Amino acid sequence: MRAAIYRGAGHVTVEEVSDPLITAPTDAVVRVLRSCICGSDLWAYRGVIQRAVPSRLGHEFLGTVEAVGSEVRTLKPGDLVVAPFQWSDNTCPACRDGLQTSCVNGGTFGAPGTDGGQGEAVRVPQADGTLVAVPGGAESVSEAALRALLATTDVAATGLHGAVLAEVGEGATVGVIGDGAVGLCAVLGARAILGAERVLLFSRNPERQALGRRFGATDVIPERGEAAIATARDLTAGLGLRHIVEAVGTEASWEMALGMARDGGTIGAVGVPHTAPTLPLFPPFVHHLRIHVGVAPVRHYLPQLITRVLEGTYDAGPVFDLEMPLQDVALGYAAMSERRAIKVMLS
Ligand SMILES: [Zn+2]
């Protein structure tokens, strides 16, 4: 089979690799129908972080079950399944706390020694705990629903998680910092699921601004830095925002989040902080800020998101603004790295 392989910064290839096999009785093998490129895949592509060379790529995929190990109980060959970007047993204490990304038997697709989602098939460890079957199977799912389901494997759930961490509720006013797929999905989650009334999206890119409005942003603010902070305060009678989603993970985005938070406000941070390893604690101390951070436990959100997709009440599929076959994955990385695409879908 073929799979995307990381060959160094700026260098992604598609190569022949061995077919995945069941190696543990709790495994399943999934034939990938759709996968995608994540903003977090770009960190290694841009050379910001180190990644093993060569290594498999991708952690967002859905597909059909091809084979299951002898201990797999809830899945059977032919099932259409959605995979969160990490596997988990869904039974350990961390999983029962809703933190499947801290599972004692968990791991990440695309990490050294594992299969990546950007390939024709994937060995999925802890299949019962990880994969969520879509009722009705592949025959009953439209192409649009398939895109919406693919989005739930990471960005739709991660954006929603950011809004949950920011304690967004009915009638809330929320600021979303970051107009990548996760930030845009935070807008959608805050409005369509959590009932926010007003969402300020900070974006200066016309396509992303338009999608942000489609997802429910009520105010789109092109300023950055101090100017953005001033605008956010102007729009809230000088008080600042009670709820902020930080979906970038850089020093600049954290400065904005801290600067526009209302005293006692909550920042929900889902931007991977590769380039912002230190956080000043004095401003949050003085202003009573609540800072909730964490890698999204996508598995926790999947059942409800899949239900909403099938009901037609939740559709993050429009984040995919470019699609291509797996063979062209290198073009997809380049397009996302150069911000010519919000998110690339691979088929
Ligand atoms: Zn667990």
User: Do residues 133 and 75 touch, judged by C-beta distance below 8 A?
Assistant: yes
Q: How far is the CA of 198 from the centre of ligand 1 (A)?
A: 36
DSSP secondary structure code for residue 134 in this structure: P
What is the average pLDDT across 275-304?
A: 93
Q: How far is the CA of 153 from the centre of ligand 1 (A)?
A: 18
Q: How far is the CA of 145 from the centre of ligand 1 (A)?
A: 29
CATH number of 2-154+297-346: 3.90.180.10
- C-alpha gyration radius of the chain: 20
Q: How far is the CA of 224 from the centre of ligand 1 (A)?
A: 40
Maximum CA extent, the chain: 61
Classify 304 as helix, strand or coil: helix
- pTM comes to 0.95
Q: How far is the CA of 103 from the centre of ligand 1 (A)?
A: 3
Residue type, 20: P
Q: Please, which residues have CB within 8 angstroms of residue 328's CB and are 6 or more apart in sequence?
A: none
Evaluate the omega torsion of the peptide bond into residue 54 and state whether it is cis, within 30 degrees of 0. Answer: yes
CATH topology of domain 158-293: Rossmann fold (3.40.50)
186, two tokens: 């935070």
Total count of residues recorded for the chain: 347
Report helix angle 155-165 to 143-152, nearest 10: 50
Q: How far is the CA of 89 from the centre of ligand 1 (A)?
A: 4
The string of pLDDT tens digits covering residues 21-64 is 999 999 999 999 999 999 889 999 999 889 999 999 999 999 99
Give CA–CA dist 180/182, Å, rounded: 5
Q: How far is the CA of 131 from the centre of ligand 1 (A)?
A: 13
Q: How far is the CA of 126 from the centre of ligand 1 (A)?
A: 9
The pLDDT assigned to 130 comes to 98
Q: How far is the CA of 147 from the centre of ligand 1 (A)?
A: 28
Residue type, 22: I
Domain map (residue ranges) of the chain: 2-154+297-346, 158-293
CA distances from 330 to 111, 121, 122, 183, 247 (A): 19, 19, 20, 24, 25
Residue 273 scores a pLDDT above 80: yes
Classify 173 as helix, strand or coil: strand
Helical spans, DSSP H, in 199-281: 206-214, 225-234, 251-260
Beta pairing partners, 322: 344
Give CA–CA dist 61/27, Å, rounded: 16
Classify 130 as helix, strand or coil: helix
Q: How far is the CA of 128 from the centre of ligand 1 (A)?
A: 11
Q: How far is the CA of 137 from the centre of ligand 1 (A)?
A: 26
220-240 burial by CB neighbour count: b if 16+ within 10 A, else e? bbeebeeebbebbbebbeeeb
3-42 burial by CB neighbour count: b if 16+ within 10 A, else e? bbbbeeeeebebeebeebebeeebbbbbebbbbbbbbbbb
The pLDDT assigned to 276 comes to 74
Dihedral, 81, 85, 87, 88 alpha carbons, nearest 10: -100
What is the average pLDDT across 175-200?
A: 98
φ, ψ at 257 (rounded to 5°): -60, -45
The pLDDT assigned to 274 comes to 80
Q: How far is the CA of 87 from the centre of ligand 1 (A)?
A: 9
160, two tokens: 């929603």
The string of pLDDT tens digits covering residues 125-182 is 999 999 999 999 999 999 999 999 999 999 999 999 999 999 999 999 999 999 999 9
Helical spans, DSSP H, in 10-154: 41-45, 93-96, 127-130, 143-152
The string of pLDDT tens digits covering residues 305-324 is 999 999 999 999 999 999 99
Give CA–CA dist 106/83, Å, rounded: 13
Q: How far is the CA of 300 from the centre of ligand 1 (A)?
A: 11
Q: Count the helices and strands in the chain (H runs, E runs).
A: 12, 18
